[in-house]
Amino acid sequence: MDAGTPLLEVQDLHVVVGRGADTTELVRGVGFAVRSGEMVGIVGESGCGKTMTAMSLVQLLPTGIRVSSGHVRFQGEELLGAAPSRLRHVRGAEIAVVFQDPMTALNPLQGVGRQVAEPLALHRLARRGERLKRAAALLGHVGIARSEQRLKDRPFEFSGGMRQRVLIAEALSCNPKLLIADEPTTGLDVTIQVQILALLDQLRKERGMAIVVISHDLTLMARICDRIVVMYAGQIVETGPTAEVMSSPQHPYTVALAASVPSLTTQPGQLLPALAGAPPVMTGLGPGCSFAPRCPLAEERCGRVGPTLTPVGPDSLVACWVVEERRLASGSASRR
Amino acid sequence: MMTVKAARDELLRVERIRKHFGKRSRIRKVSRVVHAVDDVSFEIGRGEALGLVGESGSGKSTIARCVLRLERVDDGLIYLDGVELTRLGSRGLREIRPRMQAVFQDPASSLNPRWPIHQVIEEPLRVHGWGAAERRDRVLEVLEEVGLSHRYLNVLPHQLSGGQQQRAGIARALVLRPELIVADEPVSALDVSIQAQVLNLLVALKKELRLSYLFISHDLRVTRHLCENVAVCYLGNIVEVGAGDALFTNPLHPYTASLVSAMPLSVEDARQRGQTIVLAGDPPSPLEPPSGCRFRTRCFRAQTQCAEGTPKLEPAGAAHRAACFFPLDPDFLRDRAAGSPGSTG
């Protein structure tokens, strides 16, 4: 792998549920890249396919849901269609996952030390006697005080924030190069959310680990991610460096997402620019742009033909006919 | 029935309420007490909204349940339009309940899954003895108010989207024409774009119907948008109360400051990573609240005095009060943003 190759490269990923005529596409041609040490945030509302995208990277999709086509290359190696034994090696050791909901992701009957050390045992990375020592060190590292004495404590003896730390310690146990965190702060209290985000940021800096974070909260992602990927109805509608996406969002959906959260610039009680309607049902998508029915800018052709991701900056892509048109118009004007 | 008339047009007055839950441990044979709400007072004017913000265990939901008389207070008084609620009997309660209604967090689980929407909304009217024709008219009227189409009258809750379900929940609360709505996290289960729709509805209803809200949320941005006044709760106490803008731009209590910095109010805020105050540790258990100021175990300004005495809510400017021995400078957050490194946990 040379320096130019990204750590992870996803191309034209399609995820479907059902078979034959009943097939519904949940993820429709998603592609992005993650470099070493980079933190990328995938943002979208429930049902937009963000979790399905992330779970297809490690092929941990729920029963009945499968990847129908596309590429997932990790350090240049194709993971889709790789042998199960190879995948078992990659999962946990190279790519680790912090699952949603710290309340249910741990085994309630087992001490946390053994759970944190379990990947070490599975990947035969440490001897039995050494594992718990490593677990204690990991737990200490993620901010659990007196970790040696807490190894035998069960998950119920920890608070929500502490359980999330335990899950992060487990994910870190084999020193992965890529960490996938699915809604790592959802359900946690505000002050605890800040602690977990600070921890992820610190870990990434210390270890040079890449992190893909999935969240529905755009402002939360803005404070820790280098790049943001916005998804809607199974597709990427906009992606770019955080500063650009946040300061000048292009796609009407991103604009609406950013504007629909009250901020210091909105007057209390003023009408929020809320999107009408609800996200589409994935079974009844037409040929055009799936955002068109709710889009304030929609034109006639948006309903007929779906736009493709087009560069709007050095590292930014947007899928919108109207944005592209405006760009072309202003581009030709400035050349004159 | 005792009646107290207040000077300003006051709808709800809560005076020094306390609620402890007994917890008897079967194993250790000692009884322990959860200090859910301690010495909490506030008022809400007619047509005004008060936001209660705080984290889990701060007692904000218990306060709401006490106001609705779903929970009896151990001590203290609650007046709705001059009528004292804590000692009302069942007949008195039946009379007063139509004037205060609740909207719950999760619309899907707070609507009966087997009842069509019209029945869900009609039920409070039936309970309070409205006739069939009146009921039908009122249901159609209230559907209009919350922006739900009449074609949803006969569908079941699961056939509606999350936003529509919450509109149905709001319609059920409004159908008896209440004056006070107690809303416990009404938008936190909704997606961002739907959340904005429901917030707009709540703002519009408040103006049109001159409703008062006791609005509970962990989201400062949402609270500031909807409420004139905000009270910040921590472990069963109100630590700071005031007008939303004053509270969020010039917080006096260190806990309020940490909440504000944790939840950026603007995109620019969000990008200033260094600005976040990261508090150490978890909130203590309400079973054994710390002595003195309950926030002192996580506070970045705590001194020995904080363990010895309990700070009271002291006025600091017009209608802005905070319970802290060492309140922050008015420009604390702005100075932090400007780059002076603050002490964090």
User: What pLDDT is stored for residue B341 in this prediction?
Assistant: 44
Q: Which residues of A touch B192 (CB under 8 A)?
A: 45, 216-218, 257, 260-261
DSSP helix/strand/coil, B221: helix
Q: For B258, which residue in chain A has the nearest alpha carbon?
A: A191
For residue range A106-115, what is the model confidence (pLDDT) as tens digits? 999 999 999 9
Q: How many separate domains does chain B show?
A: 1
The residue of chain A nearest to residue B197, with distances taken between CA atoms, is: A274
- Greater model confidence, B339 or B298: B298
Averaged pLDDT for residues B90-98: 94
Pick from A193, A198, A262: which is nearest to B225 by CB?
A: A262
Mean pLDDT of chain A: 90
Flag whether B309 is in a domain.
Answer: yes
User: Parallel, antiparallel, or unpaired for β A227-232 and A39-43?
Assistant: parallel
pLDDT at B266: 57
Which residues in chain B touch residue A39, judged by CB atoms under 8 angstroms apart? none
Residues in a beta bridge with B77: B15
Cross-chain residue pair B244–A268, CB shorter than 8 Å: yes
CA angle B301, B306, B310 (to 5 degrees): 135
Residue A235: φ, ψ to 5°: -130, 155
Q: Is residue B153 part of a domain?
A: no
Q: Do A191 and B226 touch (CB under 8 A)?
A: no
The mean pLDDT value for A225-248 works out to 94
User: Is the residue at B180 inside a domain?
Assistant: no
Q: Which of B190, B191, B216 to mutate to test the interface with A (most CBs of A within 10 A)?
A: B191
Q: Is residue B280 part of a domain?
A: yes
Lowest mean pLDDT, pick from A116-125, A134-143, A193-202, A275-284:
A275-284
Q: How confident is the model at residue B334 (pLDDT cuts 50, 70, 90)?
A: confident
Instruction: Write out pLDDT tens, residues B101-140.
Output: 999 888 888 999 999 999 999 999 999 999 999 999 999 9
Domain assignment of residue B120, yes or no = no
Q: What type of residue is A119?
A: P
* B224–A268 CB contact, under 8 Å: yes
The answer as to whether B321 is a domain residue is: yes
Query: Could you tell me which chain A residue has the CA closest to the CA of B224?
Result: A268
- Supply the pLDDT for residue A35: 95
List Cα–Cα distances, A51 to A161, A279, B193, in angstroms: 21, 16, 19
Tens digit of each residue's pLDDT (9 = 90 or more) over B277-298? 888 888 888 888 899 999 999 9
Report yes or no on B216 lying in a domain: no
Q: CB-CB: which of A190, A263, A278 is closest to B161? A: A278
For CA atoms B211, B217, B223, B229, give the dihedral sign.
positive
Mean pLDDT value across residues A156-167: 90
ipTM greater than cut 0.90: no
Q: Which domain holds residue B336?
A: 238-345
Q: Above 90 in pLDDT, residue A75?
A: yes
Read off the pLDDT of residues B25-63 as tens digits, 9 standing for 90 and up: 666 656 678 889 999 999 999 999 999 998 888 999 999
Chain A residue with minimum CA distance to B270: A223
Residues of chain B contacting A266 with CB distance shorter than 8 Å: 225
Q: Which residues of B touch A264 (CB under 8 A)?
A: 248, 265-266, 269
Report how far residue A11's alpha carbon sits from residue A7's, in angstroms, rounded to the nearest whole number.
Answer: 13
Rounded average pLDDT over A246-264 = 87
Average pLDDT over residues A95-103: 87
For B307-331, write each residue's pLDDT tens digit.
999 999 998 877 899 999 999 988 7
Residues 6+ apart with CB under 8 A from A307: A289, A319, A320, A321, A324
Residue reference for tokens 């008062």:
B212
Going by C-alpha positions, the residue among A108, A158, A173 that lies closest to residue B281 is A158
Whether B271 is covered by a domain: the verdict is yes
Query: In A190-258, at which residue ranges do the beta strands (DSSP E only) sit?
Result: 210-215, 227-232, 235-241
Q: Do B279 and A261 touch (CB under 8 A)?
A: no
Residues of A in contact with B266 (CB under 8 A): 263-265
A336 confidence band (pLDDT: 50, 70, 90): very low
B196 to chain A, closest Cα gap in Å:
5
